[in-house]
Amino acid sequence: MEKDGMAVPVLSDPKWLMDLAFLVDITQELNVLNKKLQGPGQLVSAAYDSVRAFCIKLVSWKAQLSQTNLCHFPAYKAVTDAGSPFSGEKYPDAIVMLQEEFDHRFADFKTTLQIFTDPFSFDVQDAPPVLQMELIDLQCNSELKAKFREVSGKADKLGQFLRELPPTFPELSRMFKRVMCLFGSTYLYEKLFSTMNFNKSKYRSKITDEHLQAILRVSTASSLKPNVAQLCERRRSQVSGSKE
């Protein structure tokens, strides 16, 4: 910027640089969390566990900043090591605001996901009234409790167990199925646009909207597996009879 003759006075302002460094460190941690929430086949409870872990980290970071401990803030530490005086009074407040925002955004999921994750140890009094009686019956069922312990930690088997609850638990079954339908959707959009940009290039000028739609459908549906043998069978040419 100096070589081009464009003055940027904020780059020489220690307070602005500290704000920027703090933002860089927090954004990096948010990027790490974002990557954990991506990917197919992930139960929403696992994604929520990552969010809960991040909220606990926020509490730890707030305490460390208050004690002038910058071990988890490398960019901020680099600025202070370069000679800028430490000024961390407002940053703990910024972390508190971020924590409150996370609590607000995920408040509707908290109770439901805790019941979903471990219905046998959840406090019945904290459950919605419509689930309380069924939850008591479930927690007192030794056979179901043993089966739940066997499938704990195995996403596919846990989902099957929760889907196949006896008909005596209609409200719990409905709630479990509703939770299992939830999934992280942001990465699907990112994957879709990346695939579209890759395929719709200047080197493929003859591609039509119909072609692009078919490519996107196949490329984003990673769970689809072609039945090659059946496709080949349909396209097999007719063999004429052998000559006598």
Which pLDDT belongs to residue 68? 85
Torsion, Cα of 39, 60, 105, 24 (10° steps): -70
Cα(128)–Cα(114) distance, integer angstroms:
12
**Residue from 165, 182, 171, 99 nearest 132 by CA:** 171
pLDDT at 171: 92
Q: Which residues contact 39 (CB under 8 A, 6 or more apart)?
A: 184, 187
Distance CA 218, CA 96 (A): 44
Q: What is the pLDDT of residue 224?
A: 66
Q: Each residue's pLDDT tens digit in the chain (244 positions)? A: 778 888 888 888 888 888 999 999 999 999 999 888 887 777 788 888 899 999 999 999 999 988 888 899 999 999 888 877 777 678 889 999 999 999 888 887 788 888 888 889 899 999 999 999 999 999 999 999 898 888 877 767 777 888 788 889 999 999 888 888 777 666 777 777 777 777 777 777 677 778 777 777 776 666 667 788 888 887 766 555 555 5
| Whole-angstrom distance, CA of residue 38 vs CA of residue 102 | 18
Look at residue 59 in the predicted model and tell me its pLDDT. Answer: 93
Longest dimension (CA), the chain: 99
The label of the residue with tokens 């019956």 reads: 137
Rounded to the nearest angstrom, the gap between the alpha carbon of residue 18 and the centroid of all alpha carbons in its chain is 30
pLDDT at res. 238: 59
What type of residue sits at position 201?
S
Spatial contact of 76 and 18, defined as CB atoms under 8 Å apart = yes
Task: Return the pLDDT at 220.
Answer: 64
What pLDDT, on a 0 to 100 scale, did the predictor assign at position 170? 92
CA distance 12 to 9: 6
d(Cα 183, Cα 37) in Å, to the nearest integer? 9
DSSP-assigned letter for residue 85: P
pLDDT score for 199: 74
